[in-house]
Amino acid sequence: MKLGVSTASYYPLETEYALEEVGKAGVKETEIFFNAESELKPTFIELLLDIKESFGINVSAIHPTMSLAESFMIFSAYERRFYEALESYKRYSEIAAVLGASYIIMHGGKPNGILNDEEYCEKYMILKEAAKRNGVTVLQENVAKYRSGDIEFLRSMRDILSDEAEFCFDIKQSVRCGYLPLQMMEEFYGNIKHFHISDHSLASDCQLPFDGKFDFLSFFGSLKAKNYTGSLVIEVYKNAYKTYDEIAASYNKLNAIVKSL
């Protein structure tokens, strides 16, 4: 398994500088979270590619800036808007391919959407098929206050699409939705391709690993037993730390566990 840090952990630091911080910390695996449409320009992608290569970083996934608008843009009944969003996803899949990323992470639709589960899955599969042309897979992330925050929706998606339902599993989002991360991971493991990891306690549902009470040894041990070979990236918010050095220290402690297994 490959341990890393998401550039989202440094937000609101600009994306290129966040990627540099990943490199300075000695981290070799990342997920790039795009934060502005201007960051999709070829010259900006060239900049990210230069940073990635200079530090020897592997980009496992990217996260579109349009994630907050996906319910409106993709999972509505207005087809013209959907096909505009589809073109955007095609562009993201091109960018992912250039950066060497395998996945695009999607938040998806909100619970009040008018599409039923079958219609939702149809839209998801259109996005997936478009991204596949560039060798990239679209992953549905479990996210609080979205349809994917409901375990029953994830089960429905899996039942409808079988192996085509592919997920990014986020620990903090599982906690926010009232589900035990280890139990969710066990249930959906066959469909999970990528992880967002963090810690939590009664004080906060989003902390750096080892600042909370989560049993990372059991978590990684379970993944090791399943022969998981994908990526796990630390993704936290700015209020989870005071200095960037804390992110690096947390990563190093986790990395020691992974190497000891």
User: Which residue shows structure tokens 């297994």?
Assistant: 261
Handedness of CA 32, 35, 40, 44 (dihedral sign): negative
Could you tell me the two tokens for 58?
A: 């592997």
Q: How far apart (Å, rounded) are the C-alpha atoms in residues 194 and 48?
A: 21
Cα gap 219→209, rounded to integer Å: 12
For the chain, the structural domain boundaries read 2-260
This prediction has a pTM of 0.97
- Going by their DSSP bridges, the two strands 2-6 and 167-170 should be labelled as unpaired
Identity at 244, one-letter amino acid code: Y
Distance between CA 116 and CA 118 in Å, rounded? 6
Report the distance separating Cα 175 and Cα 117, nearest Å.
23
Scanning the chain, the segments in alpha helix (DSSP H) are: 15-24, 42-55, 70-73, 79-99, 117-132, 151-161, 171-176, 181-188, 216-225, 244-260
Separation CA 57–CA 9 (nearest Å): 16
51: closest CA among 14, 94, 22, 31? Answer: 22
CATH 3.30.70.260 assigned to domain 2-260? The reply is no
Cα–Cα distance between 174 and 151 in angstroms, integer? 9
Angle between helices 117-132 and 79-99 (to 10 degrees): 40
* pLDDT of the chain, 261 residues: tens digit per residue: 999 999 999 999 999 999 999 999 999 999 999 999 999 999 999 999 999 999 999 999 999 998 889 999 999 999 999 999 999 999 999 999 999 999 999 999 999 889 999 999 999 999 999 999 999 999 999 999 999 999 999 999 999 999 999 999 999 999 999 999 999 999 999 999 999 999 999 999 999 999 999 999 999 999 999 999 999 999 999 999 999 999 999 999 999 999 998
